[in-house]
Amino acid sequence: MIQIWKLSGILWRSGLSVLLGGCLLLGGCANNNPAKAPVMNGRAQNGYYRVQRGDTLYRIGLRFNQDVNTLVRWNHLANPHAIEVGQLIRVRKPNSVSGGSAGVKRQPGRVTPKPDTGTTTTAAPDIRLRWPVKGKVISTFNGQTQKGIDIAGSRGTPVKAAAAGIVEYAGEELRGYGKLVLIKHSNSTMTAYAYNDSLKVVNGQKVQVGQTIATMGDSGTTGVKLHFEVRVNSKAVNPLRYLSN
C-alpha cells in the first residue's frame, strides 16, 4: 500500500491544473541542471498508467497534468490515499459513451453536447498575482523542461503568497522540488513555490495575499532561488502572464 502526500491536498482537494486542478494541480521543475520530473518511470497506454513502486496519486497527477480529484473521480477510488503497485489508473479523459452524438436527436430549445475529445482547453483565469519575492528572473517558462520561472534571491528571504487561497500541500516528499508549497486560489488555479529553506504554513491553512508562506533556500536544487509555477486546470502556464508589473 502506498501512502500519498498530505496534499489535498492538490493537486491539487483541488482542481491544478495543479497544479496544478491537481496541480497545481504542478510538471517538472527545472534549474540550471534541470531536475527530472518528480515521478517514477512509466507512460500511459490506452489512457491508463500502471502504478509503480514509489508512486503516489499526486505524483501520477503531476506526470500527466491531471489533478487528484479528477483521478479519484475517473477511477472511482474510495481511498485516494492508498494505491497499489500494479494497479491501473486512468490518466486520460474517458471517451464519450459509444455512439457519440450521431444517435442524439436535437430537440427544440436544447443544445446537443459536443462529443468528448479527451482534450482540455486552458482558459485564462481572471486572476492577478503578486510577485512571491523580489528578484531577478534567472530561468523563464518554456512549457517543457521549465514549467515555471526561477527567481534569484538570498537565503531566508520571505516567500509570500501570490494571491489568497488555501494551502493544498506543504512538505518535501516530491523529488526535485525540495520544500514545496502549493496554494489553491480557485477551482481552476493553483500556484507552486519550490526550493524553500523553511515552510511557514501547513496543509489546509487559509492564507492571504502577501502572507509569508516560506523562506527562500536551495532545497532540492543548487543555488538559492525560488521556483514559481502557475497551473490552470492542472496545466502549467507562463507565470509572467499573471504577475503584476
Is pLDDT of 161 > 90? yes
Say if 232 falls within a structural domain.
yes
Domain boundary among 90, 120, 147: 90
Q: Give 65-78 pLDDT, tens digit per residue.
A: 888 888 888 888 88
Q: How many domains does the chain have?
A: 2
Buried b (16+ CB within 10 A) or exposed e, 149-184: bbbebeeebebbbbbebbbbbbbebbebbbbbbbbb
The reported pTM is: 0.58
Inter-residue contact 199 to 232 (CB < 8 Å): no
Residues 142 and 228 in one domain: yes
Q: What is the CATH number of the domain that holds 151?
A: 2.70.70.10
Mean pLDDT of 177-187: 92
Q: Which domain holds residue 86?
A: 48-90
Cα dihedral 20, 23, 27, 30 sign: positive
Q: Give 92-130 pLDDT, tens digit per residue.
A: 877 643 333 333 333 333 333 333 333 334 455 668 899
